[in-house]
Amino acid sequence: MEIQPDRLYINTLLRCSPETPLSEDQMDEIEGYFEGLDTFSVYKSKKYELYKEEVLKRRLIHK
């Protein structure tokens, strides 16, 4: 059986962590191994501006 993905997500940590996140250059190198596939990474995804008040409101609602 062969896997035929529609999309490939390649991620690394961008928040505080004891592990060091991969750099954008390292992520680009990894993406190169999957040439021809539709790839996404944290560095190339759309960024959304978060507002502290809205985040806190959502967190209180979902507890």
pLDDT band at 33 (very low <50, low <70, confident <90, very high): very high
pLDDT of residue 45: 76
Count of CB atoms situated within 10 Å of the CB of 27: 19
What tokens appear for 18 in the block?
């004891």
- Average pLDDT, stretch 13-36? 87
**Per-residue pLDDT for 62 more than 70?**
no
Return the residue matching tokens 């560095």: 43
Of 14, 2, 60, 23, the residue nearest 31 (C-alpha): 23
pTM, 2 dp: 0.60
What are the C-alpha distances in Å from 6 to residues 3, 34, 63? Answer: 10, 12, 34
